[in-house]
Amino acid sequence: ENLKMAISWSKNIDNFVAITSNKSEAQKYGIKNILEFDNNIRGRYSIWSIISQPTITGNEGEFFLFNKGGNLADKNLLEDKKYIEFIKYLSFSDIYFNNYLNKNSRAVLSYNWRLRSLTDYIQQLEMESLGKNPSKDSEFNKTGQIIFGGYGPIAQHSFFQLMHQGSQELCADIIAVKDDSLSYAQAITQARLLSYGADDLKEIEKINGNIPTNLFILKELNPMSLGYLIASWEHRVFVTSIMLQINAFDQFGVHAGKIYTKKYLSNKD
């Protein structure tokens, strides 16, 4: 319905580009500019497909650099022992904090304006992939953590109060790009405060500290480094799913809502 409305508002159908695995459906609306992808490419892992090309600044070369970064991470997972150990460390710590230290929530915070929406992607990636019942054969009773967060400089004026002085058990991931900006300075400062607390504060000002915090620093932000970061996060999720003995790729919980919404719409009259 949204597509019908958008087309009706447009004076020129040539202004539209359809990105779909169902070419014939797009052609029904008279759309001629069609980019196709395989029907087996789904949801949160479709970021590497042609779906992403228009979003990577509209530049075809940068889209391929983005994929090149992801491809490099894939190769490292197969060939680089240090990289594999790094991914295992992230996965094992996520499982350990969740199952043994009762830290079932993790804040993901980006300290670069161009990465302000990255947490939304990571939230979907992790919670849709790892939000499953535990395997009956697994020693772990808890699967994926609750992922929340956002753009760090804004988050500092919302839920950071709970993180620094609240009573909830949680962890944190901080993502920054190394430069001379105030945001980078805030990322370094917050990572230290969350991890170690501070000794020179008045009693009423004292903060928790001892919050497990991963600090990810990119030397520079470009399509290739972004691709590498996202692919590495996917590896983290995949290794975690293997350890938990769950399927990261099904999403029956998502389908349930769709099924019963259709039933409601068909029966409401």
What pLDDT was estimated at residue 51?
78
Closest CA to 173 of 135, 123, 139: 123
Predicted confidence band at 48 (pLDDT cuts at 50, 70, 90)?
confident
- Strands 17-20 and 105-110 turn out to be unpaired
Query: How far out from the chain centre does Cα 155 lie?
Result: 17
Q: What is the largest CA-CA distance in the chain?
A: 68
Predicted confidence band at 268 (pLDDT cuts at 50, 70, 90)?
confident
Phi-psi region of 114 (alpha: psi -120 to 50; beta: other; left: phi over 0): alpha
Integer angstrom CA distances of residue 102 from 66, 156, 171, 197, 241: 36, 24, 10, 20, 18
Q: What distance in Å separates the CA atoms of residue 11 and residue 1, rounded to the nearest whole number?
A: 18
Eight-class DSSP state of 10: -
HEC assignment per residue over 207-221: CCCCCCEEEEEECCC
Does residue 106 carry a pLDDT above 80?
Answer: yes
Q: Model confidence over 139-194: pLDDT tens digits?
A: 999 999 999 999 999 999 999 999 999 999 999 999 999 999 999 999 999 999 99
Query: Which amino acid would we find at residue 149?
Result: G
Query: How far out from the chain centre does Cα 40 lie?
Result: 21
Does residue 257 carry a pLDDT above 60?
Answer: yes
Determine the average pLDDT of the residues in 9-32: 79
Q: Model confidence over 207-237: pLDDT tens digits?
A: 999 999 999 999 999 999 999 999 999 999 9
What pLDDT was estimated at residue 170?
97
What pLDDT was estimated at residue 74?
97
Least confident of 79-83, 170-174, 219-223, 255-259: 255-259
Indicate which residues carry an active-site annotation. Answer: 128, 157, 258
Q: What distance in Å separates the CA atoms of residue 46 and residue 70, rounded to the nearest whole number?
A: 13
CB atoms within 10 A of CB 199: 7
